[in-house]
Amino acid sequence: MKRFLSILVVILVGFNIFLALEVVQLNGKVKDLSGSQSTHIVETKVTQFTTNVTEVVDKSLEKVVGVHSYRFNNLYSTGSGAVYKVNNDEVLIITNNHVINGADRVDIAFANGVEVTGIIMGSDLFTDLALIKVTVDFDVLPFKAGDSALSKVGEWVLAIGSPLGNEFAGSVTMGILSGKDRVVPVDLDNNGIADWDMIVLQTDAAINPGNSGGPLINLAGELIGINSMKIALESVEGMGFAIPINEVVVIMEQLETNGRVIRPVLGVSAVGISEMSIYQKNSYGIQLTQTKGLYITSVVSGSPAQIAGILQGDIVVSFDGVEITSFKQFRKLLYGKKVNDLVDIVVSRDGELITTRARLQ
């Protein structure tokens, strides 16, 4: 215990020194002042910074909830959530899809200690987002959404949630925004192959199991992201990821209106040639040296693909002017379109390139 306290003291002292050095670098006048004056200015700046952080935390904690997912009355998953909207006694909560996936009951624990059962309004596998509605008889305030596109790498951010469960509810970690528009491949069907690219914010603020679904906020108290995952390797530290709020809002609007995210359909089953084994290439009659394109294994009757003249056995080489390198990339391009969009598609058939146009459904 003494060893733990010693380590903790060292960490806290080190952090205070770091903050002091940051302020010295930011205040150009400090270097021209005497030692006593410099110390006074540094202490003032650190106090102001600390006060700003604590004020933001105080105002934000009541907007963060615990999410407890049950299956057959057994608790099987815990996470966090952020208050998104409040309409009289109805409160909408954002969390992660993986926190509530498979649940037959979801309870929401508020900062005031009240726990109520919620209704899952919708969820989305690809963005790992879910929307929950609860009815309460007390006042709740929502987060103000920031603009993740305007967030700057290097700015301070805070992650709030319930790491390791409700026992540590309201835990706050601090770090910087380490990167934007990071591409993180994810395996959605647990077959060991990445089949979707998530575009995320990167932070070194600690994100642990139970933080999932909680808010990532800036020092203005604005919601700029929803914490989703971290890289859990012994060789990696401080690499957490959050879904940018600009994307979150778009998904929430669909979940609130439709209960699901409506994405366009081309109407094909396909395999990325880059993911094929030698055996698969031989069985489909594809040259072993070919590594790009999308092999069409089937076409749905009456689909946009069939109407556009795409056939089983065709190889899609480009979609809307972009060369196809994998199924994952094709799916990302397709889901970036809207229903009724017209797209140009180039396929290879018997060694001949054919250009066609499809209206997505």
The yes-or-no answer on residue 128 being catalytic is yes
CB 105 within 8 A of CB 82: no
Of the candidates 198, 233, 232, 204, the residue with the CA atom closest to the CA atom of residue 216:
204
Cβ atoms < 10 Å from Cβ of 101: 14
Cβ atoms < 10 Å from Cβ of 100: 23
Q: Which of 128, 204, 314, 326 is catalytic?
A: 128
DSSP secondary-structure letter at 143?
P
The yes-or-no answer on residue 147 being catalytic is no
DSSP secondary-structure letter at 87?
E
Burial of 12 from C-beta contacts in 10 A (0-12 / 13-18 / 19+)? exposed
Q: Which of 69, 80, 178, 212 is catalytic?
A: 212
Q: How many residues are recorded in the chain?
A: 361
Give the DSSP per-residue string, 12-80. HHHHHHHHHHHHHHH-TTGGGS-HHHHHHHHHHHHHHHHHHHHHHHHHHGGGEEEEEEEETTEEEEEEE
Say whether 43 sits in a helix, a strand or coil: helix
Cα-based angle 217, 223, 225 (whole degrees, multiple of 5): 80
Burial of 323 from C-beta contacts in 10 A (0-12 / 13-18 / 19+)? exposed
The yes-or-no answer on residue 98 being catalytic is yes
Q: Which of 80, 98, 107, 326 is catalytic?
A: 98
Helix orientation angle between 35-60 and 2-26, rounded to the nearest 10 degrees: 110
d(CA 354, CA 250): 35
DSSP-H helix ranges across the chain: 2-26, 35-60, 97-100, 245-258, 278-284, 304-307, 327-335
d(CA 323, CA 344): 12
DSSP-derived pairing of the beta strands 215-218 and 64-71: unpaired
Give the residue numbers marked as catalytic.
98, 128, 212
